[in-house]
Amino acid sequence: MEEERVKHEILKLGAKRVLLQFPEGLKSEAPRLAKIVEKTGAVPIISADPCYGACDLPTAEAESLGVDMTIHYGHSKLMKHERVPTIYVEARAAVNVDGTVEKALSMMEHWHNIGLATTVQHVQTLDVVREILIRAGKTVMIGDAGRLSYAGQVIGCDYSNVHSIAKDVEAFLFVGGGLFHALGVALSTMKPTIVAEPYEGRAFSVEKEAERVMKQRWANIEEARGGKEFAVLVGLKAGQMRLEQALQTKRRLEEKDKSVCLLAINEITPEALMEFPTIDVYVNTACPRIAIDDTARFRRPMLTTNEALVVVGELSWEELCKKGLLES
């Protein structure tokens, strides 16, 4: 958790009050880390609100609490500028990945050219993973499109690194926990994606889940075609606000005779949207993963902006699949 660097940065800035922000999986560490911050003489305040990514910095909270600095744990820097000085503690995982990569290799016998991807928690393992694959006779590629902090890194809504090499590889190996990011790799590239899951020590394919999501997306688009009243959601979280994209989407839908309103929203929940019963379709310009992963929770179809273009015939389903479901 880079305790020494954190203390050093606080002292360097002369911060007297510090806001600590954690994603859900790391919140249990917060009281211990707050005590370490306290030793510098600064007052630590822990943000207890949910935090979904580095798009979700607590800027307004930091300003209203009058803090001198925010310490964001668990993600790498995403926004170009922060209004409150912010340091990022990426929280690298100490788990060994070799065994699960060996297991994953047995699922990749038919492919020669492999792309690698991971989250910031495991970027330090990519050199080792590459070596294991090369020893097994594979050709390995790691994309670096320059948008994220590290080559090969993916985040929930940015797969530019894998996208940049997708045409040159037959399959991807994702190193890391869970399904969320690996599914994003598959949906962005439409390539077979194998997960080397070091926490449970197993390897698996996300193919079936990707197929299920694709079918669901198609069903959502079909249902939305009959919709008349559209709402374009404008995210209020600092790193999720895409007002220009929302305004443009509104214009394009109106040109196709849809009635469109803009909804500014911080937390996109079924309860919040239920208050607008006349809306037939939501187009989400904030976090695209809410449309992709949580769609079943909403009463009406929720689409990404590209899916909305498919609904009004400006983009074909085939073009969308080629582009990748999570590409903007």
Which one-letter amino acid corresponds to residue 309?
Answer: L
Q: Which is nearer to ligand SF4, 10 or 291 (CB)?
A: 291
Residue 55 sits at the vertex; the CA angle it makes with 291 and 282, to the nearest 5 degrees, is: 25
Dist. CA 269–CA 297, nearest whole Å: 8
Answer for which of 72, 191, 242, 289 binds ligand SF4 (CB under 6 A) is 289
Paired with 20 in beta bridges are: 46, 71
CB of 101 to ligand SF4, least distance (A): 25
For the chain, what is the radius of gyration of the CA atoms? 21
Neighbours of 257 (CB within 10 A): 8
Asked if 44 interacts with ligand SF4 (CB under 6 A), we say no
CB of 133 to ligand SF4, least distance (A): 27
Q: Which is nearer to ligand SF4, 74 or 227 (CB)?
A: 74
Q: Which is nearer to ligand SF4, 220 or 240 (CB)?
A: 240
Q: From residue 31, give the alpha-carbon distance in Å to each of 10, 46, 72.
A: 17, 8, 14
Q: Residue 61 is inside which H or E element, if any? A: helix 59-65
Per-residue contact string for residues 55-84; x = within reach of ligand SF4 by CB under 6 A:
xx----------------------------
CB of 262 to ligand SF4, least distance (A): 18
CB of 243 to ligand SF4, least distance (A): 15
Which DSSP symbol is given to 272? Answer: H
Per-residue contact string for residues 110-149; x = within reach of ligand SF4 by CB under 6 A:
----------------------------------------
Asked if 240 interacts with ligand SF4 (CB under 6 A), we say yes
Per-residue contact string for residues 191-210; x = within reach of ligand SF4 by CB under 6 A:
--------------------
Q: Which is nearer to ligand SF4, 141 or 157 (CB)?
A: 157
Which one-letter amino acid corresponds to residue 302?
Answer: M
Q: Which is nearer to ligand SF4, 13 or 241 (CB)?
A: 241
Answer for which of 53, 192, 198, 301 binds ligand SF4 (CB under 6 A) is 53
- DSSP letters for 296-328: GGSSS-EE-HHHHHHHTTSS-HHHHHHH-TT--
The closest alpha carbon to 101, from 130, 77, 78, 142, belongs to 130
Surface-to-core class of residue 2, CB atoms within 10 Å of its CB (0-12 exposed, 13-18 middle, 19+ buried): middle
Per-residue contact string for residues 152-181; x = within reach of ligand SF4 by CB under 6 A:
---xxx------------------------
Q: Which is nearer to ligand SF4, 100 or 118 (CB)?
A: 118
Residue 206 sits at the vertex; the CA angle it makes with 204 and 211, to the nearest 5 degrees, is: 150
Q: Which residues bind ligand SF4 (CB under 6 A)?
A: 52-53, 55-56, 155-157, 240, 287, 289
